[in-house]
Amino acid sequence: MNTIQKRLEKLRQQIEDHNYRYYVLNEPSISDSEYDALFRELQNLESEHPEFIAPDSPTQRVGAPPLEAFGTIIHRVPMLSLENAMNKEELYAFDERVRKILNSSKVNVMSNEAPRITSLLLTSELKELYASKEITYVAEPKLDGLAVELVYVDGKLTNGSTRGDGITGEDITRNLRTVKSIPLRLRFSLFDEKEKGSPSVVEVRGEIFIEKKGFIQLNKTRLDRGEPPFANPRNAAAGSLRQLDSSITAQRPLKFFCYELGYIEGKSFDSHEEALQTLKSWGLPVNPDIQVCQGIEKATKYYHELEEKRESLPYEIDGVVIKVNSEAERNKLGARSRSPRWAIAGKFKAQQATTIVVDIEASVGRTGAITPVAHLEPVNVGGVMVSRATLHNQDEIDRKDIRIGDTVLIQRAGDVIPEVIKVILDKRPNGTQPYRLPSTCPICGGDIIRPEDEAVARCQNISCPAQVKGRIEHFASKRSMDIDGLGYKLIDQLVDTGLIHNVADLYSLDVEKVSSLERMAEKSASNLINAIDSSRKTTLARFIYGLGIRNVGEHLATVLASEFKQLHALMNAELEQLQNIDEVGPIVAESIVKFFKSDDNINVIQQCLDSGIELEPPPPDYSSQKLSGTTFVFTGSLSSFSRNEAKMMVEAIGGHATNSVSKNTDYLVAGPGAGSKLTKAKELGTTILTEEEFLKLIES
Ligand code: IVH
């Protein structure tokens, strides 16, 4: 190995080690930026020496060129499925079966004939069984994702596949390599000294899934891009794994937990618990919520507890898996044709139900986004009464053809708002109509507009009561009007009590009105009024930003301020004029024009200006101006220099200073007490500078 190869190897080891700390131990030991620096160094070194790029380098997780089709992989040990138990009684029956086989020498446990328990009543025979030693179980969350198998040869990930029919699966190695929590090398092969007795082949099974948080974010991005959202995290994970283009998979928030050993060469374990611990020490992520339970009673308690906790878990589960811990006992129990006798899935109550869409309401969010919401005939879904479901947007309604009166299948997924999965067309009554979102806002009657390439329609009126709180919050925020102490809760109170209806109303508040609010001391009220007062003096850019025009962020607000100088100029700007500005594209230009077309918006702005808001225009940009040949006049009292010094400065830049203002005067520099010269300059439209502005101009 030359020095470059050594450095590459060292970097890969370090990165893989930090992945382990982050994904498996949940205890990162370096910051994100330090990690990024290591990663970049590796990327750079590899791009200088592509001949040394290895498929198991951490840089190779970004995906590979698209495939025509997936190949197949035969599982060395079939991937079985699990028998289901729907309740506590069935879990106890499973335990009885297990004990009976393990306690009986008569049963031929390796046969496919399952021993039968004919009655759940405690016969004397079963009582005896209960008296005997309890079985040790391992209880695990039953993740609602996709089962996969990973094959490591000499510690290196060589193959990854789906379960398929249990015998053969699809070869999705390239996709699985992009999943960050899947180690590309097991830790026993990572460092120079190989651990003694490390296995030559390790085949593990586990679940690929997407956490609830990642799912919400993923769907949000898809909706924003006008793509159909996934119905649930499981579908999202399945769709991501089945991509022929692994670079798409790489962008999906897929996670992996390992839960079984399929096959191992060169090592064995006495128990499942020991196997999981070892797999974890080799760098495979193992669900921290797994528990060892002594006896079926504790395992059942785990099942009930997890069902209670289901909503608050970061990932979706549809039950628990209860597994016999001892390897010897597992072997004695054996398997039926499709499922092992040593494990059972304790399923939770269904999270889907059918019901009728009674009405569809267009609800308006804090940003004006219109979301269609189905009102449902109340139905119990997994223990929770559901009477509403989100329909996302018009495209989604069209795609699923959801109509008022339809019978629909709904699903409740974790803490996500219930969704309509599909319409049961057989049950559609006669005379239904396709649903269309209204063209005016149901709250304020303002126009609803859906930009051409967006999925979301929005109410355009800034005084729309539905949006008003969000808008006020934005207006008051640090980077716009900076009204200290005016937070979310206070805004709620002010709007709910009817003291304010829009941002302009803030300026008509007084201490008396504010202290009439519940739990509002006079001192706090007067602090708020002071803060509102001081916000009156602000810059044009901050005010523009504070208006919350769609697509106009802080930077663009600054650009618009320096381009237009006066608010009225911006308000009257035509589409073309806006589009001529470098940083303004057609979508932005349109949303600006639309904003200032609304009478309501204009009224609010006028009300702000009437209440004494002063908008300081941006300082002129002197750097591009030519000064030679320009004429200056000075008036009023000057504090940092004398008239004479001023004259010398002007001459030094090639201009000249005169005493009276005429149409030939380019600049009037006015100090305090300026009189008739200032009046005349204003009449003539001469540029008027303060002393400071003059100095800046000269310096430039
Ligand atoms: S063990 C022979 N453990 O459930 C036992 N499976 O119906 C093999 N699953 O296809 C599975 N979480 O997708 C096991 N902790 C867990 C699991 C789990 C989810 C899924 C897996 C499998 C299905 C079996």
What gap in Å lies between CA 609 and CA 603, rounded to an integer? 10
Query: What is the DSSP-derived secondary structure letter of residue 181?
Result: T
Q: Judge if the beta carbon of residue 321 lies within 6 A of ligand 1.
A: yes
E-only strand ranges, 72-120: 72-74, 84-85
Please tell me the distance between residue 333's alpha carbon and the centre of ligand 1 in angstroms. 18
Pairing, β 384-390 against β 136-143: unpaired
> What pLDDT shows up at residue 382?
73
Q: Is 340 in the pocket of ligand 1 (CB under 6 A)?
A: yes
CA–CA distance, 430 with 408 (Å, rounded to integer): 16
User: How far, in Å, CA of 529 to CA of 509, rounded?
Assistant: 7
Spatial contact of 517 and 497, defined as CB atoms under 8 Å apart:
yes
Q: Which atom of ligand 1 is nearest to the CA of 257?
A: 15
Residues 79/170, Cβ–Cβ less than 8 Å: no
* Contact in structure between 85 and 345 (CB atoms under 8 Å): yes
Phi-psi region of 129 (alpha: psi -120 to 50; beta: other; left: phi over 0): alpha
Measure the CA dihedral 222/227/231/237, to 10°.
Answer: -60
Q: Is the CB of 140 under 6 A from ligand 1?
A: yes
493 CB less than 6 Å from ligand 1?
Answer: no
Distance CA 547, CA 554 (A): 11
The reported pLDDT for the residue numbered 105 is: 55
CA 249 to ligand 1 centroid distance, Å: 22
Give the angle subtended at the CA of 311 by the CAs of 279 and 85, to the nearest 5°: 70
φ/ψ of residue 207, rounded to 5: -115, 135
| Nearest residue by C-alpha to atom 3 in ligand 1 | 259
* Cβ burial, residue 317 (10 Å; 0-12/13-18/19+): buried
Interatomic CA distance for residues 367 and 350, integer angstroms: 35
Closest ligand 1 atom to Cα of 140: 15
Evaluate: CB of 237 within 6 angstroms of ligand 1: no
How remote is the CA of residue 466 from the centroid of ligand 1, in Å?
A: 46
Instruction: Read off the tokens for 444.
Output: 């304020």
- Report the Cα–Cα distance between both ends of the chain, in Å, rounded: 59
CA distance 240 to 234: 10
**Ligand 1 centre distance from Cα of residue 62 (Å):** 28
Backbone conformation region of residue 636, classed left if phi is above 0, alpha if psi is from -120 to 50, else beta? left
320 CA to centre of ligand 1 in angstroms: 9
Which among 235, 203, 204, 241 has a CA at the least distance from the CA of 219?
A: 235
Cα of 155 from ligand 1 centre, angstroms: 24
507 DSSP 8-state letter: G
pLDDT of residue 92: 97
Q: What are the residues whose beta carbons fall under 8 Å from the beta carbon of 450, sequence distance 6 or more?
A: 394, 456, 457, 458
User: Which residues carry out catalysis?
Assistant: 142
Ligand 1: which residue has its CA nearest to atom 10?
A: 147
- Protein residue with least CA distance to atom 2, ligand 1: 80
Please give the Cα distance from 427 to 357 (Å, whole number).
12
> Looking at the DSSP assignment, which residues form a beta bridge with residue 670?
635
Residue nearest to atom 18 of ligand 1 (CA): 142
CA atoms within 13 A on the CB side of 532: 24
| pLDDT at 110 (0 to 100) | 42
**Tokens of residue 334, six digits:** 């054996």
C-alpha to C-alpha distance for 147 and 164, rounded to whole angstroms: 9
In the beta sheet, which residues pair with residue 687? 667
How many Å apart are CA 27 and CA 656, to the nearest integer? 70
Beta strand residue intervals within 29-125, DSSP E: 72-74, 84-85
CA of 693 to the centre of ligand 1 (A): 73
Where the chain has pLDDT below 70, the residues are 105-132, 192-195, 413-416, 620-626
- Give percent above pLDDT 70 in the chain: 94
Task: List CB contacts of 400: < 8 A, sequence separation 6 or more.
Answer: 420, 422, 423
**What's the sign of the alpha-carbon dihedral 420, 425, 428, 434?**
positive
Tokens (6 digits) for 470: 């969000």
Ligand 1 binding pocket includes 206 (Cβ within 6 Å): no
Q: Is 576:651 a contact under the CB 8 Å cutoff? A: no
Distance (Å, rounded) from C-alpha 42 to C-alpha 19? 15
Using CA atoms, how far apart are residues 203 and 167, in angstroms rounded to an integer? 14
Task: Evaluate: CB of 259 within 6 angstroms of ligand 1.
Answer: yes
Which helix (H) or strand (E) is 352 found in, with range? strand 352-364
Order of strands, sheet of 317-324, starting from the edge strand that comes earlier in the sequence: 84-85, 343-347, 317-324, 136-143, 291-294
The closest residue, in CA terms, to atom 9 on ligand 1 is 142
Q: What is the pLDDT of residues 542-559, one digit of tens each?
A: 999 999 998 898 889 999
pLDDT number for residue 413: 66
> Is 75 close to ligand 1, i.e. is its CB under 6 Å away?
no
Question: What pLDDT was estimated at residue 68?
Answer: 83
Q: Is the CB of 317 under 6 A from ligand 1?
A: no
Q: Which tokens belong to 85?
A: 């138990």
Q: Is the distance from CB of 543 to CB of 613 less than 8 angstroms? A: yes
Q: What is the per-residue DSSP string for 408-470?
A: EEEE--TTSPPEEEEE-GGGPPTT-------SB-TTT--BEE--TT-S-EEE--TT-HHHHHH
- For residue 240, report the distance from its CA to the centre of ligand 1, in Å: 19
Q: Which atom of ligand 1 is nearest to the CA of 260?
A: 1
User: Is residue 343 lining ligand 1, measured as CB closer than 6 Å?
Assistant: yes
| Token representation of residue 193 | 């000294």
Which of 79, 82, 320 gets mutated to test ligand 1 (max ligand atoms within 8 A of its CB)? 82
Calpha distance 209→230 (Å, rounded): 13
What's the CA angle centered on 347, arms 345 and 348, to 5 degrees? 155
Task: Report CA-CA distances (Å) from 291 to 138, 231, 302, 401.
Answer: 6, 31, 8, 45
**What's the CA gap between 499 and 674, in Å, rounded?**
43
Q: 260 in ligand 1 pocket by Cβ < 6 Å? A: yes
Burial class (CB in 10 A: 0-12, 13-18, 19+), 652: exposed
Residue type, 407: T
User: What one-letter code names the amino acid at 500?
Assistant: I
Quick: pLDDT tens for 452-478. Answer: 777 889 898 877 888 888 889 999 999
Q: Which residues pair with 185 in a beta bridge?
A: 156
Cα(25) to ligand 1 centroid in Å equals 22
Ligand 1 probe mutation, 148, 150, 259, 261, most atoms within 8 A of CB: 259
